[in-house]
């Protein structure tokens, strides 16, 4: 092969590599947006990009995280403000779920119960690497909204956000167990 043919083959290989790399990052983003749009359409709302609570004052704060394998619970969980029996399913108060480690990093949820109902779900800790931020910015608002509607951790997985789902639902379930007095 002459030099021109080798250069052309190298250029084609590099172009294919760039296309593959772009697809690795874009396809999950598109799947998340598609899933979010489908869920929003089914609910008759528009997609949200921030965490929310039924009282409209939900917040999300970033926390440090480290990557580990598996979706195992670790760390302690706590509750505060538990008060007298309420009229709903849960005991009023604020409950912090266990830190749940996933392949992407750690997740920790704080759930607020008022009037016996889950009224706010805040994601206190979640992975902050660029890929996770892209996924979490789309998936977490959907998961928060669904958890508040379902009043449980039994929510639908957003395509492309499996690790976020595992961490979110694992920590939320721990907080719900605390609220139930389990």
The pLDDT of residue 79 is 43
For 158, residues 6+ apart whose C-beta sits below 8 A from its C-beta are 32, 35, 36, 39, 138, 139, 142, 143, 164, 165
Q: Tell me the pLDDT band of 15, cut-offs 50, 70 and 90.
A: confident
Element (H, E) at 106: strand 106-114
The pLDDT of residue 126 is 95
- For 55-113, how does the pLDDT look when each residue is reduced to its tens digit (9 = 90+)? 333 333 333 333 333 334 444 444 444 333 334 689 999 999 999 999 999 999 999 99
Could you tell me the residue ranges of all domains in the chain? 48-180
pTM (2 d.p.): 0.56
- For 91-102, how does the pLDDT look when each residue is reduced to its tens digit (9 = 90+)? 999 999 999 999
Q: Tell me the pLDDT band of 6, cut-offs 50, 70 and 90.
A: confident
Element (H, E) at 142: helix 130-150
Element (H, E) at 19: helix 3-43
| Cβ 92 vs Cβ 80: under 8 Å | no
For 9, residues 6+ apart whose C-beta sits below 8 A from its C-beta are 1
The pLDDT of residue 69 is 32
Residue 145: phi and psi, rounded to 5, are: -60, -45
To which residue do tokens 């920590």 refer?
171
56 vs 42 pLDDT, higher one: 42
The Cα 82–Cα 111 span in angstroms is 12
CATH code, 48-180: 3.90.1010
């Amino acid at each position: 092969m002459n030099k021109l043919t080798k250069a052309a083959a190298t250029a084609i290989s590099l172009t294919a590599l760039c296309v593959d790399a772009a697809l690795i990052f874009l396809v999950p983003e598109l799947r998340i947006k598609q899933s979010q749009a489908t869920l929003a359409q089914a609910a008759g709302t528009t997609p949200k990009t921030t965490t929310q609570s039924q009282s409209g004052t939900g917040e999300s704060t970033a926390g440090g995280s480290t990557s580990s394998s598996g979706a195992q619970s670790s760390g302690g969980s706590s509750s505060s403000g538990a008060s007298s029996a309420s009229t709903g399913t849960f005991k009023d108060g604020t409950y912090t779920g266990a830190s749940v480690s996933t392949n992407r990093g750690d997740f920790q949820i704080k759930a607020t119960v008022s009037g016996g109902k889950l009224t706010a779900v805040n994601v206190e800790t979640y992975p902050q690497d660029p890929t996770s931020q892209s996924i979490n910015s789309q998936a977490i608002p959907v998961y928060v909204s669904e958890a508040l509607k379902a009043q449980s951790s039994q929510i639908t997985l957003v395509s492309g956000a499996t690790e976020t789902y595992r961490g979110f639902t694992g920590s939320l379930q721990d907080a719900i167990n605390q609220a139930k007095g389990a």
